[in-house]
Amino acid sequence: MEGIAEFADVRDVHKSRIPEHLKNQNELVDFPSWEKLDLRVAEIKAIEDIEGADKLYKLTIDVGELGERVICAGIKKYYEKEELKGKKIIIIANLEPRKMKGVESQGMLLAAGNKEKDVCVILAPDKDIEAGSKIS
């Protein structure tokens, strides 16, 4: 039993080394977990409405050497189709596919929103760079 108590003490010491401003985060991600994400630049090629979806667009994107794929994005309230065609975006390329309103989404675009949920901004490279470029 004494060995277990010593182990618990070591874990508490480790927790006490976390900076105060990080203790309020939902969950800390270790570096090896972060390295698993495949973040890429993609270019939006086509934008379609999804039947029965008032928030989602179906986006066909070019991810360079990874090819074209479809992702669903809940940005309809914030962007008109015309604003999106040809836009370079940042995506998570290795996210497990998920069906949304009958459409298989093969990734996720990254966007920022305020807490009131009345503003949504798609994250994009600040200079032109080819589709498929890795984010690191």
- Predicted confidence (pLDDT) at residue 12 exceeds the cutoff of 60: no
Which uninterrupted H or E stretch holds 47? Answer: strand 39-49
Tens-digit pLDDT profile for residues 55-80:
999 999 999 999 999 999 999 999 99
Cα gap 58→48, rounded to integer Å: 5
Residue with tokens 């080819």: 130
The domain limits of the chain are 2-32, 39-122
Helix (H, G, I), strand (E, B) or coil at 84: helix
CATH class of 39-122: mainly beta
- What count of other Cβ atoms lies within 10 Å of the Cβ of residue 40? 22
Tens-digit pLDDT profile for residues 87-121:
999 999 999 999 999 999 999 999 999 999 899 99
Alpha-carbon Rg of the chain, whole angstroms? 20
